[in-house]
Amino acid sequence: MNRFDGRNVLLTGAASGIGRAAAVRLLNEGATVFAVDRDEDGLAETGKLAGGTDRFVPWQADLADESAVVSAAAEAVARLGRVDVLANVAGVLRVTPMESLRLDDYRQIFAINVFAPVAFCREVLPHIPDRTGVIVNVTSTAATKAHPWMTGYAASKGALLSFSISLAAELAPRRIRVVPISPGGVATPLTANRETFAGIDTSWYARTYPLWGRPGRPEDIAGTIAYAASADGAYLNGVEVRVDGGSHS
């Protein structure tokens, strides 16, 4: 018996990095995963990595567009019927020094990192079962720790964290859990180009991984997502779970 046998998951950001690792992990543990991302090829690759199972249902959508979120949620409900786990993993990072920052940068970041998860929660909530349903929102240590040159990203993750904590209290009468998970630095395409952006010396970040002298791996975070979303995490609710290897940045 696998932890996720018979459980339906709607997971965003499944074409790369942490979302891909989480999708593979949940599929391997028996879940059916409705996987949303704008990157169709990346989604197909995730399906292959999970062994080509027909429990993987890819759905291409640009989450910057609210109507695409609404359609994706409707399609997930049509295909799955019930959504036991909603995992909002998709996100974007922009490294922008304050001097050259435009409010449109903030709007774009907030659209994907905050408004899409919020809209998914609203759309899917009627189809999440009382007592066993779980919402996992991937935030970031940037929500509560200084991340210079990333103020928009940090503010968006702070917003998602606050949203999650309050939503957990709102949904408590239905016994639906909401768990914000905050990774520290994880080696994925999201962070790969950071060192070179705008000539900024970001070696500050490289000095902050004291546990194994390395940043996190997507699988490190996927394991925590699976724990939080499973019955093993039944008493975990409305509190930030930091998964940063003890990083001090």
Ligand X SMILES: NC(=O)c1ccc[n+]([C@@H]2O[C@H](COP(=O)([O-])OP(=O)(O)OC[C@H]3O[C@@H](n4cnc5c(N)ncnc54)[C@H](O)[C@@H]3O)[C@@H](O)[C@H]2O)c1
Residues that bind ligand X (CB under 6 A): 13, 15-19, 37-39, 42, 61-64, 89-93, 112, 138, 140, 183, 185-186, 188-191
Q: Buried b / exposed e across 77-97, counting CB within 10 Å, b at 16+?
A: beebeebbbbbbbbbbbbbbe
Q: Provide the minimum distance between the beta carbon of 104 and ligand X in the complex, in angstroms, as a whole number.
A: 15
Q: Provide the minimum distance between the beta carbon of 209 and ligand X in the complex, in angstroms, as a whole number.
A: 11
Instruction: Give the nearer residue to ligand X in terms of CB position, either 113 or 237.
Output: 113
For 55, the token pair is 């429990």
Query: Is 90:118 a contact under the CB 8 Å cutoff?
Result: no
Instruction: Give the nearer residue to ligand X in terms of CB position, either 91 or 233.
Output: 91
How far apart are the C-alpha atoms of 214 and 216, rounded to whole Å?
7
Instruction: Give the nearer residue to ligand X in terms of CB position, either 37 or 84.
Output: 37
| Sign, CA torsion 151/197/90/185 | negative
Instruction: Give the nearer residue to ligand X in terms of CB position, either 129 or 240.
Output: 240
Active site (annotated) includes residue 227: no
Q: Provide the minimum distance between the beta carbon of 213 and ligand X in the complex, in angstroms, as a whole number.
A: 16
Which residues make Cβ contacts (< 8 Å) with residue 247, sequence separation at least 6?
Answer: 141, 184, 185, 208, 209, 210, 211
Q: Which of 153, 209, 227, 235 is catalytic?
A: 153
Q: Provide the minimum distance between the beta carbon of 244 and ligand X in the complex, in angstroms, as a whole number.
A: 8
Catalytic (active-site) positions:
153
